[in-house]
Amino acid sequence: MYGLPNHEGPALKRSNLGHYKVRSVTPRVIDSDPNLPKAPSRIQQRNRSRILEAALEVFSSHGYRGSTLDQIATEAGLSKPNILYYFAGKEDIHVTLLSQLMSTWLDPLKEMDPNGEPIEELLAYVHRKLDMAIELPRESRLFANEILQGAPRMGPHLVADLKPLFDDRTAVILRWMDTGKIARSDPAHLLFSIWATTQHYADFAAQTEVLLPDTERRHSGARDFLTQLFTKLLAP
Amino acid sequence: MYGLPNHEGPALKRSNLGHYKVRSVTPRVIDSDPNLPKAPSRIQQRNRSRILEAALEVFSSHGYRGSTLDQIATEAGLSKPNILYYFAGKEDIHVTLLSQLMSTWLDPLKEMDPNGEPIEELLAYVHRKLDMAIELPRESRLFANEILQGAPRMGPHLVADLKPLFDDRTAVILRWMDTGKIARSDPAHLLFSIWATTQHYADFAAQTEVLLPDTERRHSGARDFLTQLFTKLLAP
DNA sequence: TCGTGTCTTTACCAAATGGTAAAAAAGTGA
DNA sequence: TCACTTTTTTACCATTTGGTAAAGACACGA
């Protein structure tokens, strides 16, 4: 009688392909494979990135379901049908955003050098993560929203991309501990605590801004505190 | 042309009072003030708490906008009009939930004893918060969702309830530091880091469960790690 | 300047969703 | 059992919203 809601809004009536990614081809002499889609025109690049920028703004502050195509369209300065010319649908925009941001988000973790000085590497990682949380809070919130809802659109990405990197990095950290250059602790929880403490400043900004109105103390204070916290933890 | 969305769905046509809270009174001999609303009947108590339990389940996993009255109704085993007999609307349910949970959520902070042993008190607080995150993840996620969206319905609560408590507790911690019983650090950021690290296990469970599938290591491992982390930070 | 393909707008639609009116059903005290 | 109140159901409604069709505007090479 009262079924679960269709979380994607009105049902799409036909598979909505052929909009941008798959299209008929006008062969170019330069192009090696005439069966590949054309390179995006300047206008396409501009509008697609406009839409993604607008979507980041909207999705990150209202969540997926809390955002509407109209909002994104207004923010992007385009009409709703027009953004649907560039993307197959709301979900397509969201997924595109998430996958694009995934690499940005994981970069600092990749940059940790297994041959570097352990304490330096880890503290640098903390600082980079904190800088990102402060400078790119929308990106942080976008991910937080997605994970909070149980990662419905990013679950596979987590398993395929994040998990292997995570396993690799925890192994590196474990080896560092074996050398005695940093104190022993659970590397997995160490990474969790770094993520939690840094992203907290982006994800819970509405709270921290109320509790600690002084922006300067919030930002550089966070840096000092986290340095102290992790320096003490890692000291051999 | 393309306006912002009305985030509350269809506009309500009239002020929707008189549903439960305000109703005509049949005077009782026992009641001292016959102009006060009647005490809720057994059936009302049962159904209201059923609805709140269902709403906690639904709101915490889909967010406010991602949840529908039908979902809540189904989960509660009632019909949609029936839950609207008990609550004035979707927002009323959400607000009721949030205010009820606020005190549960702040209790551990209140219980910190200014006259206790600083390290013990703070570690006990960390452990209580972690236990709550693990045992009441839905409550944690409900708050996280609300804060992430900028606390649209809880902002005033934060200022009125949390801020004074926060200021008081950071002052207590500062006094503890003055006695030399714990190391100096910024008390505000100390509390932030406790909240961040503990709630992370509830709010980002979708992630931690992928990265650390072993439930035992996730839970007791977190406890050990956080004990270590904060013991080292606080050691004078 | 003409024609072809790209981009944008106008005018829609169907489903989902929050909410309501009103009558039926179930309790309840006397 | 009767009268009265409380609770539940049935049948709706108005907006919102994701999405589409189709025509028009635009760009640009030949």
- Has residue A176 got a pLDDT over 70? yes
Task: For residue B199, give the CATH number of its domain.
Answer: 1.10.357.10
Residue B1: predicted pLDDT: 34
Identify whether B179 is part of a domain.
Answer: yes
For residue B23, report the phi and psi dihedrals to the nearest 5 degrees.
Answer: -150, 165
Tokens for A198?
Answer: 């840094």
Question: Between the CA of A24 and the C1' of C4, what is the distance in angstroms?
Answer: 13
**How many whole angstroms separate alpha carbon A153 and alpha carbon A120?**
35
Helices (H) and strands (E) in chain A, counts: 11, 0
Confidence of residue B30 (pLDDT cuts 50, 70, 90): very low
Q: Over 90: is that where the pLDDT of B220 sits?
A: yes
pLDDT in tens, B108-159: 999 999 999 999 999 999 999 999 999 999 999 999 999 999 999 999 989 9
Residue A19 main-chain phi, psi, to 5 deg: -85, -50
Q: Which tens digits make up the pLDDT trace of A11-58?
A: 433 333 333 333 222 222 233 333 444 556 677 778 899 999 999 999
CATH of the domain at A33: 1.10.10.60
Measured CA B68 to C1' C18 distance, in angstroms: 9
Q: What does the alpha-carbon distance between residue B188 and residue A143 come to, in Å, rounded to a whole number?
A: 25
Final residue of a structural domain among A88, A115, A135: A88
pLDDT of residue A17: 30
Tell me: do A76 and A100 sit in the same domain: no
- CA nearest to A21, candidates A102, A104, A95: A95
Predicted local distance difference test score (pLDDT) of residue B46: 87
* A16 to chain B, closest Cα gap in Å: 23
Query: Using the CB atom, is residue B87 less than 7 Å from strand D?
Result: no
* Residues of chain A with C-beta less than 8 angstroms from the C-beta of B225: 185-186, 189-190, 193
C1'-nearest nucleotide to the CA of B85: D7
Q: From the Cβ of B150, is strand D under 7 Å away?
A: no
- Consecutive H or E run containing B80: helix B80-86
Q: How confident is the model at residue B42 (pLDDT cuts 50, 70, 90)?
A: confident
Burial of A142 (0-12, 13-18, 19+ CB in 10 A): buried
For chain B, the domain total comes to: 1
Measured from Cα to the C1' atom, the residue closest to D21 is A81
Q: Tell me whether residue B75 is in a domain.
A: no
Number of A/B CB contacts below 8 angstroms equals 198
The percent of residues above 90 in pLDDT, for chain A, comes to 78
Residues in Cβ contact with A117 at an 8 Å cutoff, skipping those fewer than 6 apart: A181
Separation between Cα atoms, residue A39 and residue A49, nearest integer Å? 15
Please report which confidence band the pLDDT of residue B209 belongs to, taking 50, 70 and 90 as the band edges: very high
Cα separation, B153 vs B142, in Å, equals 12
Cβ contact (<8 Å) for B151 and A207? Answer: yes
Can you give the pLDDT at residue B8?
46
Token pair for B65: 């906008």
Inter-helix orientation angle A187-203/A163-179, to 10°: 120
Q: From the list B62, B188, B200, which residue is nearest A192 (CB)?
A: B200
Query: In angstroms, what CA-CA distances link A107 with A56, A62, A102, A163, A165?
Result: 19, 26, 9, 14, 10
- The pLDDT confidence band at residue B169, using thresholds 50, 70 and 90, is very high
- Strand C and B8 CB separated by under 7 Å: yes
- For residues A31 and A54, state if they share a domain: yes
How far apart CA B14 and CA B24 sit, in angstroms, is 19
Residue B213 is assigned to a structural domain of this protein: yes
Return the residue matching tokens 């996280």.
Answer: B144
In angstroms, how far is CA B191 from the centroid of its own chain? 17
Whether residue B198 lies inside any domain: the answer is yes
pLDDT of residue A29: 28
Calculate how close chain B gets to A210, using CA atoms only, in Å.
Answer: 7
Give burial (CB, 10 Å; 0-12/13-18/19+) of B62.
Answer: buried
* Residue B85: inside a domain: no
Would you state the pLDDT for residue A196?
98
Residue A68, pLDDT > 70, answer yes
B79 touches strand D (CB under 7 A): yes
Q: Are residues A42 and A113 in the same domain?
A: no
Residue-range definition of the domain harbouring residue A102:
94-234
Q: Is the CB of B81 under 7 A from strand D?
A: yes
Q: What is the DSSP string of A51-103?
A: HHHHHHHHHHHHHHHH--HHHHHHHHTS-HHHHHHHSSSHHHHHHHHHHHHHH
Whether B148 is covered by a domain: the verdict is yes
* Single residue among A60, A88, A116 that ends a domain in this structure: A88
Averaged pLDDT of chain B: 86
B41 burial (CB, 10 Å; 0-12 / 13-18 / 19+) is exposed
Q: A66 with A112, same domain? A: no
Domain shared by A74 and A114, yes or no: no
Domain identity same for A74 and A111: no
Please tell me whether the interface predicted TM-score (ipTM) of this complex is above 0.90: no
**Pair (A69, A119) in one structural domain:** no
A135 and A175 housed in the same domain:
yes
Instruction: Tell me, yes or no, whether A129 lies in a domain.
Output: yes
Buried/exposed A178-193: b ≥16 CB within 10 Å, e otherwise: eeeebeebbbbbbbbb
Residue A153 CB partners (closer than 8 Å, separation 6+): A64, A91, A94, A95, A98, A146
The contacts found for A51-58 with CB under 8 angstroms, 24 or more apart, are A51/A76, A51/A78, A51/A83, A51/A86, A51/A87, A51/A93, A52/A93, A52/A96, A52/A97, A52/A100, A55/A93, A55/A94, A55/A97, A56/A97, A56/A138, A56/A139, A56/A142, A57/A138
Cβ-based neighbours of B23, under 8 Å, separated by 6 or more: B37, B38
Measured distance CA(A76)–CA(A147) in Å, rounded:
26
Q: Is the CB of B70 under 7 A from strand C?
A: yes
Instruction: State the nearest residue by CA to the C1' of D4.
Output: B26
Per-residue confidence (pLDDT) for residue A47, from 0 to 100 = 84
B200–A196 CB contact, under 8 Å: yes
Residue-level pLDDT at A6? 52
Q: Judge if the beta carbon of B140 is closer than 7 A to nucleic acid strand D.
A: no
Does the pLDDT at position B10 exceed 60? no
- Give the Cα separation of A65 and A216 in Å (integer): 34
Domain-located, residue B10: no
User: Exposed/middle/buried for B172, CB within 10 Å: 0-12, 13-18, 19+?
Assistant: middle
- C-beta of residue B49 within 8 angstroms of C-beta of residue B93: no
What is the Cα–Cα distance from A115 to A95, expressed in whole angstroms? Answer: 35
Residues A138 and A24 in one domain: no
What percent of chain B clears pLDDT 90, i.e. is strictly above it?
78
> Is-contact A230 A122, C-beta < 8 A?
yes
Model pLDDT, residue A39 = 59
Same domain, A130 and A185: yes
Same domain? For A120 and A200 the reply is: yes
Find the closest chain A residue to B207 by CA distance. Answer: A147
Cβ-defined contact of A186 to B73 (cutoff 8 Å): no
Query: Which pLDDT value is given to residue A27?
Result: 29
Answer yes or no: do A49 and A106 share one domain: no
User: pLDDT band for position B5 (50/70/90)?
Assistant: low
What is residue A33's predicted lDDT score, i.e. its pLDDT? 38
Q: How far is CA B60 from CA B57, B75, B94, B97, B128, in A?
A: 6, 13, 10, 11, 21
Best of A204, A219, A227 to mutate (most B CBs within 10 Å, chain B): A204
Pick from A54, A88, A122: which residue ends a domain?
A: A88
The arithmetic mean of pLDDT across residues A91-98, rounded, is: 96
